[in-house]
């Protein structure tokens, strides 16, 4: 990139700015400012058991140092009894709302470089998910996935919503095929249109967050009904930080519809949708007793607990208390799988080594 290009992207690059009555915000060219309050600053008050005030009172400097310092992040893991962590972006999720395909691609590369450096400080305990561009040639997404692997990022991530290029469209087969060859997990996380413009007025923030969580159902449905697991049987997808209590009901409905209509639906699925979920999908949650109680309907081997540090919707620094509540009455074998073993296996943590280091 020559200097003129560098200046072009530097002027358009996402950055933090203070907006009156909104506090510090993430500014992305062409999009509404996004308050950073939910992305870290509020967690301090939650940890102290205090009521959280209005959004406009928060500043970027209120974030815990673990948000940008990997050494400090490990200290916060230790406070919570966490051995290792998979890192997804915070405010970076909203870059997918941009329709500037070249800027999106450059931001993805820059973020992934930073994430590689951050996790590289403690690769045994920090695993980063690289973000991929959803616009422009699909080869850009493939190239960035390949580059991500080379710089030490073991999985990739796409937004839950991709309205201009839904995940049941044939164009995605180019990416699924390459990820399957690379044995690289694809995570779906909320983003890419998380704030529908028609939801506003009293209680809108609660609606957007709580209804939005369950909308991770959409990419799961698109991938399965679109037949991607049939064409790529070794490919793996994960729906992350979307809760799991809704999954059993979704799979039951999918199986019911498949039983009645499999004869005419295209593409044809030879197995029940729930079978493809259990073979090809994983899902994570933070605080979801309903999901734990329906774990056998979903598949114990597919589920993973997470703290979602440093977001207030997560459970830091009360993870042990939250786990005890969520898994009350759950067999120890199931609890160990969901809280620790499944994620360690999927994301490549050396669990024996981590436990030995803790004991030492």
Q: What pLDDT, in 10s, does the model give residues 209-236?
A: 777 778 899 999 999 999 999 999 999 9
Q: How many domains does the chain have?
A: 2
Spatial distance between the Cα atoms of 194 and 107, rounded to a whole number of angstroms: 19
User: Do 79 and 163 sit in the same domain of this protein?
Assistant: yes
pLDDT of residue 287: 95
Spatial distance between the Cα atoms of 276 and 270, rounded to a whole number of angstroms: 10
> Stretch 117-122: mean pLDDT, rounded?
98
- pLDDT per position as a tens digit, 157-214: 999 999 999 999 999 999 999 999 999 999 999 887 655 567 778 877 777 777 777 8
User: Do 263 and 147 sit in the same domain of this protein?
Assistant: yes
Of 63, 90, 105, which residue constitutes the final position of a domain?
Answer: 63
User: Do 114 and 10 sit in the same domain of this protein?
Assistant: no
Sign of CA dihedral 245, 251, 254, 256: negative
User: Do 211 and 235 sit in the same domain of this protein?
Assistant: yes
Distance of alpha carbon 33 from its chain centroid, rounded?
A: 21
Q: What is the 3-state secondary structure (H, E, C) of the chain?
A: CCHHHHHHHHHHCCEEEEECCCEEEEECCCCCCEECHHHCCHHHHHHCCCCCCCHHHCCHHHCCHHHCCHHHHHHHHHHHCCCCEEECCCHHHHHHHCCCHHHHHHHHHHHHHHHHHHHHCCCCCEEEEEECCCCCCHHHHHHHHHHHHHCCCCEEEEECCCCCCCCCCHHHHHHHHHHHHHCCEEEEECCCCCCCCCCCCCCHHHHHHHHHHHCCHHHHHHHHHCCHHHHCCCCCEEEECCCCCCHHHHHHHHHHHHHHHCCCCCCCCCCCHHHHHHHHEEEEECCCHHHHHCHHHHCHHHEEECCCCCCCCCCCCCHHHHHHHHCCCCCHHHHHHHHHHHHHHHHCCCHHHHHHHHHC
Binned at pLDDT 50, 70 and 90, residue 315 comes out as: very high
Given a cut of 60, is residue 65 above it in pLDDT?
yes
User: Do 141 and 242 sit in the same domain of this protein?
Assistant: yes
Q: What percent of the chain has pLDDT over 90?
A: 68
Binned at pLDDT 50, 70 and 90, residue 3 comes out as: very low
pLDDT of residue 274: 98
User: Do 197 and 252 sit in the same domain of this protein?
Assistant: yes
User: Do 150 and 1 sit in the same domain of this protein?
Assistant: no
Of 44, 63, 82, which residue constitutes the final position of a domain?
Answer: 63
Question: The domain spanning residue 149 has which CATH number?
Answer: 3.20.20.140
> Stretch 328-353: mean pLDDT, rounded?
97
- The residue whose two tokens read 């400012």 is 33
Of 40, 63, 86, which residue constitutes the final position of a domain?
Answer: 63
Q: Which residues span the domain enclosing 266?
A: 64-359
Given a cut of 70, is residue 347 above it in pLDDT?
yes
Task: Please state whether beta strands 34-35 and 85-87 pair in parallel, antiparallel, or not at all (unpaired).
Answer: unpaired
User: Do 45 and 68 sit in the same domain of this protein?
Assistant: no
User: Do 174 and 254 sit in the same domain of this protein?
Assistant: yes
Spatial distance between the Cα atoms of 37 and 54, rounded to a whole number of angstroms: 9
User: Do 302 and 320 sit in the same domain of this protein?
Assistant: yes
User: Do 203 and 300 sit in the same domain of this protein?
Assistant: yes
User: Do 96 and 231 sit in the same domain of this protein?
Assistant: yes
Q: List all residues 6 or more positions away from 165 whose beta carbon is below 8 Å from its beta carbon.
A: 134, 135, 171, 172
């Amino acid at each position: 990139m020559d200097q003129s290009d560098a200046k072009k992207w530097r002027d358009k690059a996402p950055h933090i700015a203070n907006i009156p009555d909104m506090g510090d915000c993430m500014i992305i060219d062409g999009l509404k400012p996004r308050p950073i309050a939910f992305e870290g600053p509020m967690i301090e008050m939650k940890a102290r058991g205090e009521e959280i005030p209005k959004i406009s009172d928060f500043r970027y400097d209120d974030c815990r140092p673990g948000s940008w310092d990997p050494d400090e992040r490990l200290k916060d893991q230790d406070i919570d009894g966490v051995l290792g962590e998979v890192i997804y972006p915070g405010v970076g999720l909203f870059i997918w709302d941009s329709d500037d395909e070249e800027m999106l691609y450059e931001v993805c590369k820059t973020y992934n470089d930073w994430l590689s450096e951050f996790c590289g400080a403690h690769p045994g305990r920090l695993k980063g998910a690289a973000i991929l561009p959803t616009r422009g040639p699909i080869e850009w997404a493939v190239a960035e996935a390949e580059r991500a692997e080379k710089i030490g990022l073991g999985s990739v991530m796409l937004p839950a919503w991709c309205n201009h290029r839904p995940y049941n469209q044939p164009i995605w087969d180019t990416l699924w095929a390459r990820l399957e060859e690379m044995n690289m997990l694809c995570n779906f996380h909320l983003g890419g249109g998380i704030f529908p413009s028609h939801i506003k007025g009293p209680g809108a923030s609660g609606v957007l967050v709580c209804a939005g969580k369950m909308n991770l159902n959409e990419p799961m449905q698109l991938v399965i009904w679109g037949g991607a697991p049939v064409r790529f049987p070794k490919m793996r997808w994960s729906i992350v930080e979307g809760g799991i209590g809704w999954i059993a009901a979704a799979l039951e409905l999918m199986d019911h519809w498949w039983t009645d209509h499999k004869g005419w639906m295209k593409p044809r699925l030879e197995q029940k949708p729930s079978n493809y979920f259990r073979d090809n999908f994983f899902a994570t949650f933070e605080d979801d007793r309903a999901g734990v109680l329906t774990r056998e309907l979903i598949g114990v081997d597919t589920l993973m607990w997470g703290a979602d540090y440093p977001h207030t919707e997560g459970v830091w620094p009360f993870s042990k208390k939250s786990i005890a509540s969520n898994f009350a009455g759950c067999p120890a074998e199931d609890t160990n799988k969901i809280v620790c073993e499944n994620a360690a296996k999927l994301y490549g943590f050396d669990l024996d080594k981590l436990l030995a280091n803790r004991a030492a």
